[in-house]
Amino acid sequence: MQVLKKVGLGFGMLLISLSAYADYSWNFPEPVTPMALDTLHVHNKFMLISMAIFLSVLAIMIYSIFSHRKSKGYKPVADKAPSTAVEIFWTLIPFAILLLIDFVIMGIPAYHSVIMMEDTRDKANMVIKITGSQWRWQYEYMDGDAQGIKFVSNLTTTNDQMHNAADKDENYLLEVDNHLVLPVGQKVRVLMTSADVLHNWWVPQFGSSRVAVPGFIRETWVQVEKAGTYRGQCKELCGKGHGYMPIVVDAVPMEEYKTWVAAKKEELAKAAAGADKEWTKEELMAEGKAVYEKNCAVCHQVTGAGLPPAFPPLTGSKIANGPIFGADGKYLPDSHLDRVLNGIRVMPSWKAVLNDTEIAAVITYERNGLGNSVGDIVQPSQVKAARQ
């Protein structure tokens, strides 16, 4: 029984420390939005109440276990002929206590939290759209100066790090190439959708988590009060890359945000201009290799060998070695370009994810690298035309 007592006490201590630790290492990470702060308060209050209930009931049980033992010669007290009135009275006490806790002590703050959480539109300063896809997040700014900014955020942790062939850095599995940048103190309405399966955009320090449902728009909001870099992960099982699509958000002061917007717009303009110039095969191959390894190699592998039967090889593939354009100059159905632009079954559509140059480059690379040697190249301008 000593052990039972120790286990019980040990667990109680653990639970107490959960709320008492000021550095949050045993609790939710430091909240940086009003919603996360509210969530933390709700959680702490609930934990304290649960602990109080748990420990007092445990104390009663432990007292009984030690006193009312046969080995101590304790004689059982027969409950007197079951009197229904007394029984009802006694059993209504725990009922009443929980009634009070559920619908008053916790119920009322819970109501206000729900209202606050779901109020995505009032006083929203800006709107962004987040699209989950296997296995990366796409961000798009919907209004204001930043309107039109659109990019994809990919994991940067390397294969070697995952397979223990290289040292893991501090942000192992939690670093991406393009951070989402948000201004501090602004209420951001977040529209959420998905390109393929369910995903869930979750940054623990924001306290908001919402499922991205393909074909539907869901919404939530964030208002980051403190500048910093915040990390999260996808929280809905979305296939083999589920653990590999982190979220990184930079919350920056307004001035810095404006500078970032200007720089990003310039970068996008340059990329768009790139689509109109004539690219050499070498340029396309170099660019294509980078795009391929970042986006395609997860399934089709770095060598192009694929992971059959789910993910077919590209080396020697009929599509990657077949004709792209018909006699009329339009791309053929089920051609290489069609497949990359529109996807099929598990293969996602890359239309909205990659720009013209990237699509042209990656197709060129797949046809002339990975053990294929078709010889032709695709120009960004052809992709641009194909989109119309």
Partner 1 sequence: MSTTTVAHHEEHHDHPTGIMRWLTTTNHKDIGTMYLTFSLIMFLVGGSMILGIRAELFKPGLQLMNPDFFNQLIGIHALIMIFAALMPAATGFANWMIPLQIGAPDMALPRLNNWGFWLLPPAAILLTLPFTLALFGIGDGALATGWTFYPPLSIQGGIGVDFAIFSVHLLGISSVMGSINIIVTLFNMRAPGMTLMKMPMFAWGWLITAFLLVATIPVLAGAVTMLLTDRHFGTHFFDAAGGGDPIMFQHLFWFFGHPEVYILLLPVWGFIPQILQTFSRKPMYGYKAQVYSLWAIGALSVVVWAHHFFTAGMPVPALLYFMYSTMAISLPLAVLFFCWIKTMWRGSMSFETPMLFAVGWIILFGIGGLTGLVLADVAADAQYHNSYFVVAHFHYTLFAGGIMGIMAGVYYWLPKMTGHMYNEKLGKLHFWLTAISFNLTFIPQFFLGLAGMPRRIPDYALQFAEFNMISSIAAFVLGFSQLLFVYNVIKCIKGGQKATDKVWDGAVGLEWTLPSPPPYHSFTDQPVVK
Q: Tell me which residues in 157-196 interact with partner 1 (CB under 8 A).
A: 161-164, 168, 170-174, 196
Please select the residue that binds partner 1; options are 98, 105, 108, 286, rule is CB under 8 A.
Answer: 98
Read off the amino acid at residue 139: Y
What is the footprint of partner 1 within residues 17-36 (CB under 8 A)? 18, 25-29, 35
CA nearest to 248, candidates 190, 189, 188, 177 = 177
> Site mask, partner 1, residues 62-81, x = CB under 8 A?
--xx--xxxx--xxxxxx--
Please select the residue that binds partner 1; options are 16, 30, 113, 156, rule is CB under 8 A.
Answer: 113
Give the whole-angstrom CA distance, residue 355 versus residue 24. Answer: 42
> How many residues sit close enough to partner 1 to count as binding (CB under 8 A)?
109
Q: Which stretch binds partner 1 (CB under 8 A): 1-9, 176-184, 251-259, 260-268?
A: 1-9
In the complex, minimum distance from the CB of residue 107 to partner 1, in angstroms, rounded to a whole number = 7
Question: How does strand 228-234 pair with strand 199-203?
Answer: antiparallel
In the complex, minimum distance from the CB of residue 210 to partner 1, in angstroms, rounded to a whole number = 6
Check binding of 228 to partner 1 (CB under 8 A). no
Residues 6+ apart with CB under 8 A from 244: 135, 155, 157, 173, 298
End-to-end Cα distance, the chain: 77
Please select the residue that binds partner 1; options are 16, 30, 117, 178, rule is CB under 8 A.
Answer: 117
Please select the residue that binds partner 1; options are 5, 13, 50, 123, rule is CB under 8 A.
Answer: 50
In the complex, minimum distance from the CB of residue 7 to partner 1, in angstroms, rounded to a whole number = 6
Residues 6+ apart with CB under 8 A from 297: none
Sheet holding 180-183, edge to edge: 180-183, 247-252, 228-234, 199-203, 208-212
Give the whole-angstrom CA distance, residue 174 versus residue 149. Answer: 23
What is the footprint of partner 1 within residues 297-326 (CB under 8 A)? 309-310
Can you tell me which residue has the tokens 């909240």?
A: 31
What's the number of CA atoms in the CB half-sphere (13 Å) around residue 378? Answer: 34
Check binding of 236 to partner 1 (CB under 8 A). yes
Residues 6+ apart with CB under 8 A from 152: 136, 137, 138, 139, 178, 353, 354
> Site mask, partner 1, residues 328-367, x = CB under 8 A?
-----------------xx---------------------
In the complex, minimum distance from the CB of residue 62 to partner 1, in angstroms, rounded to a whole number = 10
Check binding of 8 to partner 1 (CB under 8 A). yes
DSSP character for 104?
I
Q: Report how far Cα 195 is from the mean position of its chain's Cα atoms.
A: 14
What is the footprint of partner 1 within residues 241-260 (CB under 8 A)? 241-244
Please select the residue that binds partner 1; options are 16, 47, 272, 374, rule is CB under 8 A.
Answer: 47
Q: Which stretch binds partner 1 (CB under 8 A): 37-45, 124-132, 275-283, 284-292?
A: 37-45
Give whichever of 231 and 294 is closer to partner 1, judged by the CB atom. Answer: 231
DSSP character for 331?
B
Please select the residue that binds partner 1; options are 149, 188, 190, 197, rule is CB under 8 A.
Answer: 197
